[in-house]
């Protein structure tokens, strides 16, 4: 029992030092409402407005019974908006993977970094991310992100949707060996009063350009922070994505319900040798 306690204590310390960084990216943006496509070239002659996210430009405009969105869409205009953010990344981060995560953009968003097109996300309700490394500048050089949001085609909703980057944004930094975005999938195939079996499927990303032997440690804690289950295994991660499965058992589980919404927290940490290089947490309820 003493060895188990020491092991869990060490894992907790290593988790605090794991190299995943999630930085709120909401402040210091600029916004331009209009169809001028020179916004992708960061045209300073345009009327850029300083803002912080989340942001909805429709709610700032006048209501009108003639709005194409109709009263089901809030009787407010849509249109096309542009978002710009200038930022820098420390030189010491050049060995990390850097991601822009957007929790929600309504809708038809397109993203550029330093003039390079990253992609389009038509749906306005799905979170998504882009890896920035191929075009990122480190050190004193500045980076420019442009986000185009097109909510001009109206009507497109049976309720008020708003327009723009209406949820949080994040700048995420990870090791080149890491757990993928949404890379943790949890099920509870067997549940009794005495125990609950938890199956954890984890998707690992390896951009270190060589195979690596790592240890995957997963810990489940209850709502009081007490460890109730653990699993540890070594995995050879190849140059491509790697999927692993771990099984953990929770004794005498507290079930989730509307009246008693008991939740557990499952934290997975990747170790390379004695160093924790990434960790990822997932909440789960057992029914």
| pLDDT confidence of residue 87 | 97
The answer to whether residue 33 scores a pLDDT higher than 60 is yes
Do residues 141 and 258 both lie within one domain? no
Provide the phi-psi class of 182: left if phi over 0, else alpha when psi is between -120 and 50, else beta. Answer: left
Sheet holding 169-174, edge to edge: 21-24, 169-174, 97-102, 128-131
* In the chain, % of residues over pLDDT 70: 92
The answer to whether residue 178 scores a pLDDT higher than 90 is yes
How far is Cα 139 from Cα 202, in angstroms, rounded to an integer? 33
Confidence band (pLDDT; 50, 70, 90) for 45? Answer: confident
CATH code, domain with 140: 2.60.120.260
The token duo for 144 is: 């420019």
The predicted-structure confidence for 147-162, as pLDDT tens digits, reads as follows: 999 999 999 999 999 9
Do residues 33 and 121 both lie within one domain? yes
Do residues 63 and 105 both lie within one domain? yes
Do residues 33 and 118 both lie within one domain? yes
The predicted-structure confidence for 108-121, as pLDDT tens digits, reads as follows: 999 999 999 999 99
- Count how many domains the chain has: 2
Higher-confidence residue: 77 or 16? Answer: 77
């Amino acid at each position: 029992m003493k060895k188990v306690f020491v092991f869990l204590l060490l894992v907790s310390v290593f988790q605090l030092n794991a190299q995943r960084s999630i930085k709120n990216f909401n402040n210091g943006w600029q916004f331009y409402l209009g169809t001028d496509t020179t916004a992708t070239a960061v045209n300073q002659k345009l009327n850029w407005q300083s803002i912080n996210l989340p942001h909805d430009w429709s709610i700032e405009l006048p209501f009108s019974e003639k709005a194409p969105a109709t009263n089901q869409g809030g009787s407010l205009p849509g249109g096309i908006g542009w978002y710009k953010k200038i930022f820098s990344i420390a030189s010491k981060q050049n060995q990390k993977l850097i991601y822009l995560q957007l929790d929600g953009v309504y809708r038809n968003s397109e993203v550029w970094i330093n003039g390079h097109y990253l992609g389009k996300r038509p749906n306005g309700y799905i979170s998504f991310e882009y890896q920035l490394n191929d075009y990122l500048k480190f050190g004193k050089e500045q980076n420019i992100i442009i986000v185009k949001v097109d909510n001009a085609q109206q009507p497109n909703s049976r309720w008020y949707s708003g327009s723009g980057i209406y949820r949080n944004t994040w700048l995420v930094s990870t090791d080149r060996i890491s757990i993928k975005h949404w890379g943790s999938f949890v099920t509870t195939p067997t549940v009794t009063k005495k125990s609950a079996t938890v199956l954890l499927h984890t998707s690992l990303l390896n951009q270190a350009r060589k195979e690596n032997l790592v240890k995957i440690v997963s810990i489940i804690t209850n709502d009081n922070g007490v460890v109730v289950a653990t699993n540890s295994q070594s995995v050879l991660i190849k140059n491509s994505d790697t999927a692993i499965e771990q099984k953990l058992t929770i004794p005498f589980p507290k079930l989730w319900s509307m009246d008693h919404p008991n939740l557990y927290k499952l934290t997975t940490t990747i170790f390379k040798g004695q160093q924790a290089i990434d960790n990822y947490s997932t909440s789960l309820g057992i029914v």
